Structure 1
Amino acid sequence: MTPAPLEPPSTGPVLLVVAKAPVPGLAKTRLGRVVGPDAAADVAAAALLDTLDAVQAARAVTGWPVVVAMTGEVASAARADDVRAALERTIVVPQRGDDFGERLAHAHADAGVHGRGTVQIGMDTPQVAPDDLVTAGNAVVEGRQVLGPADDGGWWLLGLPDPRRADALRDVPMSRDDTGELTRAALGDVELLRALCDVDEWPDAQSVASDLPGSRFAAAVDRSTTAGAGA
């Protein structure tokens, strides 16, 4: 994949998506235990594509650049052509680091050169709205740190006026029910956004899909359900 051409640094924050190629057997493995690896990868691809749509809608309003910190082989992914086409509208950087906290810190640093501050999300909240990103970005412009808490105790968005502050994530245990609390303690003063549900388990996927009629994500979950998943 050829990264998008570099642009002059933005006067606003960077919209940063930390993503994993939705490869069967490697993506959404907890969903895969219920629906099978191919269906889980399809759901993951739909989540990524819907997330990138929301990010591009926020970009259309604000002009803020979009950076995707990517890991995995897109060529082997579900919906590879669609994912590749969506990524061509972004600046793609590889993830770096040995664990998730380190990869997040590097992703903020790598994205931060393209703007003033970072607004980072993952691909587990396809229900994110462009307004969520604009609200977070405006707070970052005003010098405020922002955190979007997740229902499971983690977080789904992190906005930093100074991307170097993401170094604090290196010492925060990830994927725990106290990750959000520990992240807040590591960063200091943060402004909280609305809570969202991360899609990690099959009931999460069904719940989020019910709130997203007409989306790729809802269609992918419906296909898996119709095929007998979650029965």
Structure 2
Amino acid sequence: MNTSRLLLIFTKNPVPGRCKTRLAKTIGDVAATEVYKVLLRHTALVTKPLDAIKEVHYSDFVEEDDMFSDTFIKKVQQGNDLGDKMKNAFAKGFQQGFKHIIVIGCDLLDITTEDIDGAFNALETFDYVLGPAEDGGYYLLGMNKPNNTLFENKDWGNNSVLQDTLIDLKDEHLALLDERNDIDTYEDLEEFKELKEYLLNN
């Protein structure tokens, strides 16, 4: 196991009314939660093989019996907003001696093990790595040193987050990954026909 690499997986607890709220406006709380569970299973599947220490950070409480097996360390997010929580998780990781730290969410069906492994490899050369999302946010952020600026003065959930982060990193040695599409709305499901059919049949 590569103990210099830490993957932070940020997730919401899959509770109806508490996750995928934008999607729920179209398909309802229960169906939106089922979509999120599919996303969680995919995230667990693609991250399990990674040669890195893996921490799952839950929004409200640790899920004892879920798709994240005993190969994952389980924690609860600490902080006020998303930026504060990510900042604290990165700070703790660097305090523990990790050299390369990446955070991802659980909103992508088209992210692969190779994508994340490639991001870690990029951190061997670059100081930062960023995965842009189509909605104006990002699905992955990695760094080799603490940088609290990246987590401050952001309107989390707004389409300005990516641009504001790129401004923060304009003078840094940054690797940009391919753009991906977070699944946040019903329209985001268009390219995932099997998932739409699953929703229609359950």
The residue number in structure 1 matching 2:81 is 99
Q: Distance in 2 between matches of 1:41 and 1:87?
A: 20
Aligned counterpart in structure 2 of residue 33 of structure 1, from 22, 25, 32: 25
Matched, 1:89 2:71: yes
Amino acid at match of 1:103: K
List 4+ stretches of structure 1 deviating above 6 A: none
Question: TM (normalized to structure 1)?
Answer: 0.78
1:158 aligns with 2:146: no
Equivalent residue for 1:54?
A: 46
- Cross-structure match for 2:113: 130
Judged with a 3 Å threshold, the aligned counterparts in structure 2 of structure 1 residues 166 and 10 are, in CA distance, closer, same or farther, namely farther
Pair 1:121-2:121 in alignment: no
Task: Describe the shift of the 1:206–1:65 C-alpha distance in structure 2 as closer, same or farther (beyond 3 A).
Answer: same
Distance 2:110 2:90 in 1: 23
Q: Is 2:130–2:175's contact at 8 Å kept on the other side of the alignment?
A: yes
Structure 2 matches for 1:187-226, cutoff 5 A?
187-188=169-170, 189=172, 190-207=174-191, 209-210=192-193, 218=195, 221-226=196-201
How much identity, in percent, do the aligned residues show? Answer: 26
Q: Counterpart of 2:68 in 1: which secondary structure?
A: helix
2: CA distance between counterparts of 1:140 and 1:147?
A: 10
How many residue pairs were aligned? 199
Structure number with higher helix proportion? 1
Q: What TM-score results when the alignment is normalised by the length of structure 2?
A: 0.88
Q: Distance in 1 between matches of 2:130 and 2:138?
A: 7
Gaps spanning 5+ residues in structure 1: where?
Answer: 1-6
RMSD: 2.1
CA displacement at 1:167 relative to structure 2:
4.7
Query: What amino acid is the match of 1:52?
Result: A
Cα shift readout 1:106-147 (whole Å, capped 9, x = no counterpart): 122233426212111101112111111111101112343111
Displacement of 1:191 in angstroms is: 1.5
Deviation at 1:100, TM superposition (A): 1.2
1:71 corresponds, among 59, 68, 74, to 59
Q: Does 1:186 align with 2:179?
A: no
| Deviation (angstroms), 1:187 | 3.0
Q: Residue 86 of structure 1 aligns to a residue in which SS? A: coil
Between the aligned partners of 2:178 and 2:67, the Cα distance in structure 1 is: 30
Gaps of at least 5 residues in structure 2 are none
Change in Cα spacing, 1:204 to 1:140, as seen in structure 2 (3 Å) is: same
* Corresponding position of 1:10: 3
